[in-house]
A and B are shown apart, each in its own frame.
Chain A
């Protein structure tokens, strides 16, 4: 099998161009690939000023996309860096959303500010992560996958059955927007957030950028190396003086905390927790697929995976459906002719193709790619 081209960097520009131009193009590509965060951040920061559609429904959809990016980066800590399979990340997403809602909705007496509520819910989800991690430390692979899957279901059912606390199937609402009742420079922040989706767009973008920076720093620090060492060989890591227990617990806590942050933002941006079924197994699997599709343990890969999978689901599919309706292609409403009817088939096909031709993901982390291709070379 031929070696795939490394992600995003074409080795040669299209032929038939003068040498100097080709070199310039290659250099531009290289710059873009190396400084992808800054390029992407700049484009995303300027976009709402240029694209008016982002002030409408699209803005909300892209905000959801950013929230899923944060969630996936959280999952990546466990699955990508530490190599612990986690099938219940949506539970932590949900717990984050519900803690946020309990602390802010007018139905309950607490009604604290957005920031304080976010901090508390991140701490609570980290604590729940530790509580799940501590008894399951000795499990690996399939067994841990089963436990986390079970936890996800238990959490969902618990959220549904604690009707007094979580509102049962109705969920908790209305979750006030960030800065409700706070006026800065003549702008009522709460109202601004409620009316213009661009406020949430920037808030989530800012937090996403923060999470990306945090992940990059962790990746290149003591803790990140310990996570990867435990993934590679737990026994060897502990023989080097690393406490596998603490390292795995910290991965659980970090992963849950980031997922909890995503949950807070989700509840605040929708102004409701939605019903507990919004935090079910499907959502966990969707995020896990995004991480695997993009490339385990790779930050740009994870972001790209979410952009493709969740973007396909929440942005492209509704858009294609409305286009089909507008063009009157499908007057009888047959599901065979609607885009959503084919959504999961396309989704599955894409995953199969990626796993066949790029098992390390679209933008693989340097390390995982090395693993897969060295095995290939030896075979």
Chain B
């Protein structure tokens, strides 16, 4: 007794594979594959070895991107869109990288010395406003005062050039101001337009002119060029870092646009041809990984074991046990997955896939390596899965399984779909027989 297989066939199909091509270099593994999977049905894909069945599966489940064509699930292409959050993340990462690059470019060590250490030498309390002033001073390449062995020194902003040494702080300050005026005058020079910050920092001429050390012409030039230099380095670093960070984030986003976890979260789950369980985790834990998203709370909730988190874990555990019961592994919940017999491992993989709450289940040769009685059990299990409302897309070589439970069968050969129809139609199809047995003559 079979329930109506085409329950949801009237509307748009659950999965719509539209002219999908997968190429690996020059090799065409799947060519212009069209496949509709109606809701609530069991559709099988068969074909000789190397026909591109598993490649098609990998393409549907997001492991390979299709070279051409599209895969739609419930009418949607399962791709992460370029959202505002993606944009914000790219900008944020870009800004952080930019700041890092800029810090390296303007010499973070000397910047630290100028901003933090010089704030400590005069004995005045360290304030944020003072630090900001010194930070601005560093980027204007203003001369500064430093201390060494009990004497005050007038130094360039980055501390690389020592211009004068004085015993007295006020004296040193006066020398600094006068030298700064000379440097600023040099920078502005004839023929250039002073900017607003230059005018603001040009000091009044001192009442009693201090004895100024004579600066060599090229040193004066170097000091005058300091402002442009440090700003140029800062902006260049910021820009380079920003470009790198933003481009990197966008590249990573683009690569993961249709990654398997996005597809899985949309409601497509799968098993693998060569069983891929988490071998060293317990059977229960394997299924719990499938239920990962149903448990609420972040790291902090897990560390504090908040009631919501604990409840979530308990509910998930209950559901995991239900799934194990559904596939008939109730007694094995505590065992290590890798120690189960082969047939049980396949059933555990199905339980894990079902636990994700998938609406479409892709089974890749579930009966491979099973004995006849296990195969019969599996056939029953697949029918029960369909009766739960989960649509099944199946790759299988056991023809008795395929012909018994499929609503539709598609036949692939050399990456091309050569036939599609009900099992009875497929059995009679000339091309299919030829693909499997070869043509006469």
B261 at the interface (CB under 8 A from A): yes
Query: For window 206-258 of chain A, which residues contact chain B by CB distance below 8 Å?
Result: 214, 217-218, 221-223, 225-226, 228-229, 232-233, 235-245, 250, 254
Query: Given A233-B276, A371-B338, does the pair A222, B295 have CB atoms closer than 8 Å?
Result: yes
Contact A232 B260 (CB under 8 A): no
Contact status A228-B281, CB under 8 Å: yes
Which of B112, B116, B278 is within 8 Å of A233, CB to CB? B278
Does A52 interact with chain B (Cβ within 8 Å)? no
From B109, B261, B280, B297, contact of A163 by CB (8 A): B109
Chain B: how many interface residues by the 8 Å CB criterion?
A: 52
Taking CB atoms and an 8 Å cut-off, the chain B residues in 69-116 that contact chain A are 93, 96, 108-110, 112-113, 116
Q: Can you list, as one digit per residue, whether each of A115-136 has a CB less than 8 Å from chain B (1) or not (0)?
A: 0000000000000000100110
Chain B residues with Cβ under 8 A from A229's Cβ?
Answer: 278, 281, 289
A134 to B285, CA, bound (A): 28
The answer on a CB contact under 8 Å between A368 and B280 is yes
CB distance from A273 to the nearest CB of B (A): 16
Query: Is A370 engaged at the interface, CB distance under 8 Å to the other chain?
Result: yes
Interface stretch, picked from B186-194, B214-222, B298-306, B384-392, is B298-306
**Bound CA–CA A298/B277 (angstroms):** 21
Instruction: Return the contact of B63 from the options A134, A161, A163, A235 (Cβ within 8 A).
Output: A235
Are the CB atoms of B110 and A241 closer together than 8 Å?
A: no
| B272 in the interface (beta carbon within 8 A) | yes
Q: Is the interface of B mostly helix, strand, loop or mixed?
A: helix
Chain A residues near B280: list those with CB within 8 A. Answer: 228, 232, 367-368, 370-371
Are the C-beta atoms of B61 and A239 separated by less than 8 Å? yes
Question: Is B147 on the interface with A (CB-CB < 8 A)?
Answer: no
A11 interface residue per 8 A CB criterion: no
Nearest B residue to A246, CB-CB: B261
A246 to chain B minimum Cβ distance, whole angstroms, is 9
Quick one: closest B residue to A371, CB to CB? B280
Residue of A134, A165, A225, A239 ringed by the most chain B CB atoms within 10 A: A239
Interface residues of B in 264-307 (CB under 8 A from A): 264-265, 269-270, 272, 276-281, 285, 288-290, 292-293, 295, 297, 299, 302-303, 305
Q: Min CB distance, B407 to chain A, in Å? A: 25
CB-based nearest B residue for A374: B338
Partner of A109, one of B110, B120, B270: B120
Task: Check A237 against B289 for contact (C-beta < 8 Å).
Answer: yes
B120→A108 contact, CB < 8 A:
yes
Contact of A236 among B252, B278, B285, B339 (CB under 8 A): B278
What does the 1/0 interface line of A298-323 toward B look like (CB < 8 Å)? 00000000000000000000000000
Closest CB of chain B to A79's CB: distance in Å? 15
- Report Cα–Cα, A366/B337, bound state, in Å: 12
Question: Contacts of A368 on B, CB cut-off 8 Å?
Answer: 280
CB of B399, distance to nearest CB on chain A (Å) = 27
Q: Please tell me if the beta carbons of A239 and B120 are within 8 angstroms of each other in the complex.
A: no
Provide the residues of chain A in CB contact with B126, threshold 8 Å. Answer: 109
Binding site for A on B (CB under 8 A): 61-63, 93, 96, 108-110, 112-113, 116-117, 119-120, 126, 248, 252, 256, 259-261, 264-265, 269-270, 272, 276-281, 285, 288-290, 292-293, 295, 297, 299, 302-303, 305, 309, 313, 336, 338-339, 352-353, 356
Contact sample, A vs B, 27 pairs, CB 8 Å cutoff: A108-B117, A109-B120, A162-B112, A164-B112, A217-B305, A222-B292, A222-B302, A223-B299, A225-B281, A232-B278, A232-B279, A232-B280, A233-B277, A239-B62, A239-B260, A240-B292, A241-B261, A241-B269, A241-B293, A242-B261, A243-B261, A245-B256, A366-B336, A367-B280, A367-B281, A370-B336, A374-B339
Q: Interface on A for B, CB 8 Å cutoff?
A: 107-109, 131, 134-135, 137, 161-165, 214, 217-218, 221-223, 225-226, 228-229, 232-233, 235-245, 250, 254, 366-368, 370-371, 374
Closest 3 CB pairs of A and B: A109-B126, A367-B280, A241-B264
Further contacts, 4 of them, CB under 8 A, given A135-B248, A371-B280: A223-B299, A229-B289, A236-B277, A241-B290
